[in-house]
Amino acid sequence: MSSAEQDQKVINDGAVIESQGEQTKPVSRFTRWYRSPLFNVIIVGLISFTQPGIWSALNNTGAGGQQEPYLVNASNSLTFGIMVFGCPLFGILANKFGVKKVLILGTLGYAPYSASLYVNNRYGTEWFVLFGGVTCGIAASALWASEGAIALGYGDIKDRGKFTGIWLGLRELGQLIGSSIQMSLNAGKDASSRGKVGYTTYLVLIALQCLGLPLSFLLSPPQKVIRSDGTSPRDPTKGKTFKEEARKIWALMKRKQMYLLIPILVGFQWNTTYLGIYMTKYFSVRARALGSLTAGIAATFANIFWGWFYDLKCFSRPTLAKICWASFVLLMLGSFGWQVANEKLYGDSNPRITLDWDLPGFGRGFASMVMLRFLNESHYMFVYWIVGAFFDDIETLTLAVSIVRTFESVGSCISFGIGAAQVAPMVNLVISFAMFGFTIPATSAVVFMVPERPIDLRKAEAGETSEAETGSVDASEVSEKNATKA
């Protein structure tokens, strides 16, 4: 056994002894299952299914199912604008008061937004949609800051690909079920023209979103989680102050691994706004419902495939990162070129074109949309896996996820704002294309920094772990830190 392996075994054995020392009675099989990382990740996935999953099901029909996209784009821009400030705030609060409490708060704001779409669809009320955007922004800030930290931080590093796939895959289950309901309610011949989905669609989806709150009470706090080796994540709330956590999140954002990710966080998914406009402008109501369903299937496949691929033992983590990023770049550039050709064809058509599955040429326009949805979900998986490849402790992961969500929200806020400004679809698409090109150099630099094992930043900063000995981080970083301390 190598020196690094022996040191790691001592650390793990010490954690087991400490964990067992805290237990006052034997742990039953049911308790081990209920407190297991897998059970908790499934619960987080089911909550995500009822909240952003249903939100995505509505959004992927184009404009939340409405006939015109502009009011919904304005509401979404408001939502993500709130999240720019809300995600880091709730990341700090999660480390101070606990991820479970913050997650519970995150289940309270999505249903009012869906209810506002119902009221607007049936009665034409517009102010409620903007109010729903506010409640959704607050709830999403709390949910997004906590759920990713749980999915990445509760389990071991060897399971992170699988757990991320389960979490995001269950979220897409929400889109699949929601889209199936929409499809069943909007598949008739009377929906073969442009328009909006029936208002009964929203009632079923609102009912599903109300299940998120009771599910959130099943979650275990990190210190009660029991991993397969008997250890538990450290309680991140002990001895925390708001000022200290704010300092930590700022210090984390200044690390090269984080600030070089900012371009891809801001710029990758600008095409989401364009796709909403594309669906409402060129597709019939039932084709939009089919598009939402098919996008959910594509995203679910992406989660399952990449969750399996990221945990492969035949490649090192640095090699996996390079393979995945090179694949994304080539596929995205090809997909954007395909979509520009489609937009040119449909935008210049006279009379105005409406694509329906009964009509010729439907497959070309539909397939490019599905491909972009697949790549967008692959991007989610890639970013979270990258963050999990750098950091190991749940405290750092909570703050890192909040940073990720903050800059994703910046990009979404700006892109939905452009979508609400009624710019031409081709202009929106070209901006999305340019933004993706802008992300390539910085993200490539991050990919070449991926280590074989992540850092426990809490221990590294406290000087409890020799990073060079454990192989968790670059030895040059350790020398630099030690020199600074000296």
Is the model's pLDDT at 368 over the cut of 70?
A: yes
Q: Does residue 216 or residue 230 have the better pLDDT?
A: 216
- Alpha-carbon distances, residue 286 vs 73, 229, 348 (angstroms): 21, 50, 23
Residue 125 is predicted with a pLDDT of 85
CA distance 62 to 72: 9
Asked, for residue 227, whether it belongs to a domain, the answer is: no
- Read off the pLDDT of each residue in 300-324 and give the average, rounded to a whole number: 87
**In the predicted structure, residue 300 carries a pLDDT above the cut 80:** yes
Q: Model pTM greater than 0.75?
A: no
Contacts of the segment 207-210: beta carbons below 8 A, 24+ positions apart: 208/50, 208/54, 208/174, 208/177, 208/178, 209/50, 209/51, 209/54, 209/110, 209/111, 209/114, 210/50, 210/111
CATH code for the domain in which residue 52 is found: 1.20.1250.20
Residue 333 domain-assigned (yes or no)? yes
Q: 393 falls in which pLDDT band (50, 70, 90)?
A: confident
Instruction: Indicate whether 293 pLDDT > 60.
Output: yes
Instruction: Please tell me the predicted confidence (pLDDT) of residue 477.
Output: 44
pLDDT of residue 202: 79
401 burial via Cβ count (<10 Å: 0-12, 13-18, 19+):
buried
Mean pLDDT over 406-430 rounds to 83
**Residue 299: what pLDDT?**
85
Residue 208 or residue 419, greater confidence: 208
Region 169-181: mean pLDDT is: 78
**Does the pLDDT of residue 184 top 80, yes or no?**
no
Lowest-confidence range among 57-71, 248-262, 352-366?
57-71
Confidence of residue 474 (pLDDT cuts 50, 70, 90): very low
Predicted local distance difference test score (pLDDT) of residue 111: 92
Query: Where is pLDDT greater, at 133 or 60?
Result: 133
Q: Which residue has the tokens 């250890």?
A: 231
Q: Is position 306 within any domain?
A: yes
Which DSSP string corresponds to 142-182?
Answer: HHHHHHHHHHHHSS-GGGHHHHHHHHHHHHHHHHHHHHHHH
Enter the tokens of residue 441. Answer: 């150099």
pLDDT at 147 over 70: yes
What was the pLDDT predicted at 333? 93
pLDDT band at 414 (very low <50, low <70, confident <90, very high): confident
Whether the predicted pLDDT of 5 surpasses 70: no
What is residue 142's predicted lDDT score, i.e. its pLDDT?
93
Within a domain: 104: yes
- CA dist 54 and 431 (Å) reads 28
* Per-residue pLDDT at 485: 40
* The pLDDT of residue 480: 39
Over residues 296-307, the mean pLDDT reads 86
Cross-strand partners of 269: none
Is residue 294 included in any domain, yes or no? yes
Quote the pLDDT of residue 323. 92
The half-sphere exposure of 190 on its side-chain side, counting CA atoms within 13 A, is 6
Report the mean per-residue pLDDT for the chain. Answer: 80
pLDDT at 144: 85
Give the residue numbers spanning the domain of 356.
26-221+240-454
DSSP of 62-100: SGGG-SSSHHHHHHHHHHHHHHHHHHHHHHHHHHHH-HH
Round to whole Å and give the CA distance between 472 and 454: 5
pLDDT above 60: residue 279 = yes
- Residues paired with residue 391 on neighbouring β-strands, in sequence order: 455
Query: What pLDDT was estimated at residue 419?
Result: 73
Give the pLDDT confidence score for residue 462 in this predicted structure. 61
Is residue 465 in some structural domain? no
3-state secondary structure of 455: strand
Return the structure tokens found at 391: 């950091």
Rounded CA separation 93/90 (Å): 5
For the stretch 202-213, pLDDT in tens is 788 888 899 999
Which one of 290-304, 366-380, 444-458 scores highest in mean pLDDT?
366-380
Paired residues of 283 in beta bridges: 355
Structural domains of the chain, count: 1
What residues have CB less than 8 Å from 329, skipping those under 6 apart?
440
Residue 139 has pLDDT above 60, yes or no: yes
Asked if pLDDT for residue 467 goes beyond 70, the answer is no
pLDDT of residue 190: 56
Task: Give the model confidence (pLDDT) of 67-104 as tens digits.
Answer: 455 777 788 888 988 998 998 899 888 888 888 999 99
Give me the pLDDT at residue 162, please: 85
Task: Quote the pLDDT of residue 422.
Answer: 75
In a domain, 128, yes or no: yes
Confidence band of 262 (pLDDT split at 50, 70, 90): very high
Answer yes or no: is pLDDT of 131 > 70: yes
Q: Which one of 112-116, 170-174, 444-448 scores highest in mean pLDDT?
A: 444-448
Residue whose pair of structure tokens reads 């990758």 in the numeric block: 268
Residue whose structure tokens are 């990720």:
404
Percent of the chain with pLDDT over 90: 23
- Is 272 within a domain? yes
Give the least confident one: 23-32, 389-398, 427-436. Answer: 23-32
pLDDT score at 187: 65
Higher per-residue confidence, 289 vs 469: 289
